[in-house]
Structure 1
Amino acid sequence: MTAADPQSLKRRYDEVSPKYDQGAPNAMAIKLFWLTYEHLTWKPVEALLPRDGTAWRVLDAGGGGGKFGTRFAEGGHHVTVLDISPGMLDGARAQFAAKGLLDRVAFVEGNVAALELPDAAFDLVFCEGDPVSYCLDAYPRAVKELVRVAKPGAPVVLGVDNRYEAFSGYLKQGKPQEAFRTLHDGRTTCPYGLPVHAFTVRELERAVADAGAELLEIFGKPVMFFDMLHAMTAAHGGTAEKPWDAWAAREEILALQEKLAHEGFAVLGQHLQVMARRKA
């Protein structure tokens, strides 16, 4: 298997698109996890954006429901949201419309491993979540395509699945055989049951170099999150009778996660984020 079947991806995401990014779980730990995930994803990207009012052309590849695409548009940038699923693009269109941002966006149905977009067209290429992981063994081609459409010197930001997280997840589920297989070939599944490739740091380093990009950083997001939250609760004296209010302490949690994410704990992150630039 060299890549996830595009028609399977399209069908599955069309099925889930009406409820994608909706109905956040009530469990406080899960809410904090996703708050942290989005914070760690966005903060280093936001730091790359121009502060002089210059409008960039941004590719949001595999942009899903427009969660991050609308953030770029709110900053005055023009966004191309690309997704393999028409249903997901409909969701993104609704998000942009609700925020009055349709004049700053174009919607394109497409595959990240075969972009029908011109070379060097974007000031920033952003591909968050699982799009590159869905390419399975064809992921080097996807990384090359994403770098190709970036302007020389432009940032390329990729989010992918982490192999150690997939391995340990199978072990926690009592599935050691699946864990051993994933450890060797990186094959696992996404929350929607589709096959994905979970990466090692070295695989990402090679893919970025082969694509003609300079690697700036690979970090994990979030890092050891639920274990960290458990330790913080104990450190703050939380008890069953008087639980610690983690939500009230979310700024402290975010600050600690930022520190951990950028201090060499990448392999202990739920996802890996790649910060790179196309070589000039």
Structure 2
Amino acid sequence: MSAATLPSAISSRYDEVSPKYDQASPQQVAIKLFWLAYEHLTWTAVEKLLPTDGRTLRVLDAGGGGGKYGARFAERGHHVTVLDLSPGMLEQARASFSRAGQLERASFVVGNVLELPFAEKSFDLVFCEGDPVSYCLDEYPRAIRELVRVAVPGAPVVMGVDNRYEAFVGTLKYVKAADALAVLQTGKTKCPYGLPVHAFTLKELQEAVKAAGAEIDEIFGKPVLFFELLEAMKAARGPEFDAWAARDELLALQERMAHEGFAATGQHLQVMARRKA
């Protein structure tokens, strides 16, 4: 699949899955806990950026999908522009905002992070979670420049991307071991929907963000060593260990580990940066 045809493929695939996106209910406790930790780590870091003095921010939720995070910004009083390639996903986002009673605080735009349809310095906070930047493949530097471009000077720019270490280990153990070396060397892999993505090393991510004109506050992993941690807790506590009952302890451990130098072991990498003033 070429870079030129990928946006259409992404839009079509997400239009296809949009009616049931975010509605899955995994029965395995470990998987439910994994996504609980993922969302906790994502939002906890972002929430700290929000003003507590009543100021209203203009937020861009780029690649915002079904509006899971965008609605949270709106519930805290901010105006959110949700941009996505998929009209179907934007309909789900509109429904999410409607359920939250926040439609008046939202705008919905079909668009591509490689060419954001907004003027420079349009947003007080730019948020791009999940795979939008990774979907840009070798053009990811352009996507990162666009995200920084539309932020006002000094504004936070938050991005989530796929992590190459996790992609390599996952391919080696669970997909096709013969392909793992190429994933490690090139970062070329696939998302759960079968679409090509670029998985980042910490160094290339740092370099791309700095080249785009942003200063990095932190890059952390989410979640980090999650299933290994769960296994270790079970081994230490014995066969009666109830992982779901221990979820608060697990989240606290993840919160600590995510910011203690374990970024390279994260399933995703989250960039906390700011456009240079």
TM-score (norm 2): 0.98
8 Å CA contact 1:135–1:197 kept in 2: the answer is: yes
Residue equivalent to 2:70: 69
| Matches of 1:4 and 1:212, distance apart in 2 | 29
Residue equivalent to 1:260: 257
| Matches of 2:194 and 2:175, distance apart in 1 | 18
8 Å CA contact 1:125–1:150 kept in 2: the answer is: yes
Distance 1:173 1:143, change over 3 A: same
- Pairing of 1:25-40 with structure 2 (within 5 A): 25-40=26-41
**SS of alignment partner, residue 173 of structure 1:** helix
How many angstroms does 1:4 deviate by? 6.2
**SS of alignment partner, residue 135 of structure 1:** helix
**Structure 1 ranges of 4+ moved more than 4 A:** 1-4
How many angstroms does 1:26 deviate by? 1.3
| Matches of 1:265 and 1:23, distance apart in 2 | 29
Distance 1:139 1:4, change over 3 A: farther
| Matches of 1:261 and 1:3, distance apart in 2 | 35
Deviations 1:242-280 (A, max 9, x none): x31111111100110011100111110000000000000
Residue equivalent to 1:13: 14
| Matches of 2:201 and 2:211, distance apart in 1 | 16
Residue equivalent to 2:241: 244
Matched, 1:52 2:53: yes
Which amino acid in the other structure matches residue 75 of structure 1?
A: R
How many angstroms does 1:3 deviate by? 6.3
| Matches of 1:176 and 1:223, distance apart in 2 | 22
**SS of alignment partner, residue 234 of structure 1:** helix
Gaps of at least 5 residues in structure 1 are none
Distance 1:104 1:174, change over 3 A: closer
Which amino acid in the other structure matches residue 244 of structure 1?
A: F
| Matches of 1:59 and 1:152, distance apart in 2 | 15
Matched, 1:204 2:201: no
8 Å CA contact 1:3–1:136 kept in 2: the answer is: no
| Matches of 1:270 and 1:276, distance apart in 2 | 19
Aligned positions, number: 276
**Root mean square deviation, CA, Å:** 1.0
Deviations 1:170-192 (A, max 9, x none): 11026222111111110000000
Which amino acid in the other structure matches residue 249 of structure 2?
A: E
| Matches of 1:49 and 1:270, distance apart in 2 | 25
1:273 aligned residue (266, 270, 273): 270
How many angstroms does 1:79 deviate by? 0.2
How many angstroms does 1:23 deviate by? 2.1
| Matches of 2:56 and 2:162, distance apart in 1 | 31
| Matches of 2:87 and 2:100, distance apart in 1 | 20
Distance 1:279 1:174, change over 3 A: closer
Distance 1:180 1:78, change over 3 A: same
| Matches of 2:44 and 2:93, distance apart in 1 | 21
Gaps of at least 5 residues in structure 2 are none
| Matches of 2:133 and 2:175, distance apart in 1 | 28
8 Å CA contact 1:216–1:275 kept in 2: the answer is: yes
Which amino acid in the other structure matches residue 147 of structure 1?
A: V
